[in-house]
Amino acid sequence: MSAAGGEWALKNGWMPMSDTGLWVVHSVGRAGSRLIAVLSDGHPTKEAGIARVEEAVREAVGAR
């Protein structure tokens, strides 16, 4: 996805691992001149993984 003006782009992905049942959650995007990629695994639920990825992005860009 991206905005018409090209100011941002985002690609998220998530998948449960069949051998453990834990979730892999990734997010890659651009906001203005910032490029951000968060790769994570070992989450008990998809929702927990998404929350952790969102927290990591906020910390990385200094947004609270």
Going from the first residue of the chain to its last (64 residues), give the mean pLDDT of each consecutive group of 10, the final group possibly shorter: 72 96 96 91 97 93 72
Spell out a b/e string for 36-64, using b for 16 or more CB atoms within 10 Å of the CB, else e. Answer: eebebeebeeeeebbebbeeebeeeeeee
pLDDT of residue 45: 97
The 34-43 sheet, strands edge to edge: 8-16, 23-31, 34-43
pLDDT of residue 56: 94
pLDDT of residue 64: 55
pLDDT of residue 2: 53
For 47, list phi and psi in degrees, rounded to 5.
Answer: -60, -40
pLDDT of residue 1: 54
